[in-house]
Chains A and B, each alone.
Chain A
């Protein structure tokens, strides 16, 4: 998930890429103008159409839509912070008479007025992958429990490192402390048994086992640079948390260059196929897999149900979203911790 957030990582990039992307952004309406034959229309609006995570999500939605006989229309913004196109896409879908809209909000607050108008017009709105703020602004949310994802690799790392002195490097996403970044980082620390301090903030921990945090932009180049800097700070690092698998792949290059691949354990989150292959190759010790296909399929099913009998999805007690699940993928299982092997992972990975 995190590498979808990469654009946000450089404030500089955001400014100019923003110009380019907004100018060139066109909502890609795949179903616009197609025959409808009175089928229920379901809209899917992703942040971008290029990220494997969203590609898989769209494929999953399409499959479910075909199965249920509904008409799926997909739209995508261009860029992580492209709220404008998402608003336009919502308006277009309402105008087209959509019954429900599935959206991965680029801006969890700014999108809300548009979603309110859609809901007033009788459209059911479901957030996928990232919650809106507040979560009650939509009729349901299907997402990964990112804190749990972090906690699982944290627990695994704890059991793996048991009895050894630990020096931890944390490779985060971006300076903005966005929600997914905070949840995964702190989930990992909680799972490992480290006091996170302020639960809204990365980097305020006071634990001598932590060498430092660096941001990676959730990509390979950023992962490598961040790892180099932290290794320079402290050569004794032996446990590395990464926001996602591309950052982990980059970090591994730095670790290899420093000749420390035998001494350092890498953990990550995502479940993309290259990442799972890296688990199989022993590069990444463990990763928490998320399930974009499931998010999309459940979303489509919820809209279909709503179109049939007006029922809306209900979140489990005590939470404001429906967890689409996380699986710990590792080839060295830890005692008392559910996990799947990498060969299972390869059949379930998403891109």
Chain B
């Protein structure tokens, strides 16, 4: 993260009027996103609300037909996930994008391997395995992931939570400024989910804002600072977690309640 990212009042990520159409289907009809520095923002929505399209547009996997995205105030147009990553926006995909048969350092540094200094590294592309091991050790320690004993075991032999941990650690370790996590607890048991939620807190505690896409209301209410409720391709509400009840959030999500109707009960910021 860049020094000063958290200090200024500039929103970490800001999107206005994002539109994405697939043929006649409008997946996003002018959606907005606001992510403050250092916060955990949960994005919830029913199936078909345009959550995943929204995330794809933010992470560079899809290019929106209209709308603007600003990253720390700077207008950006991502042409690919790599492009987004180069701007400091990391995404932890649901399928984790790991190489299952490789060990942990290899996965943490996949695509950005540390190379030996000098021409050995730049020309022959020799890996600096020792350095990668040391950095792995450091990173996993700092994230409280040291329950993993043996770094040289293939990632596929890790538990689901440990694998998620590796993927999150990877997102967190390259000076990233914003991390998007797509359903990180979907495939995990209770205890492992808790570990991942701890990890999310740990990351945001370091000042890196996180966008969390999740179906799991208790998890959302557990970890998120604010909740972005997506419905029919738009943001219908953006609320502080402490200002809304879980049933109201679900009702907004499903359309059973209109945002105006709950104004008295919860403080909902109208988009």
Question: CB–CB under 8 A between A and B in the complex?
Answer: no
Task: Please list the residues of chain B having a beta carbon within 8 angstroms of any beta carbon in chain A.
Answer: none
Task: Please list the residues of chain A having a beta carbon within 8 angstroms of any beta carbon in chain B.
Answer: none
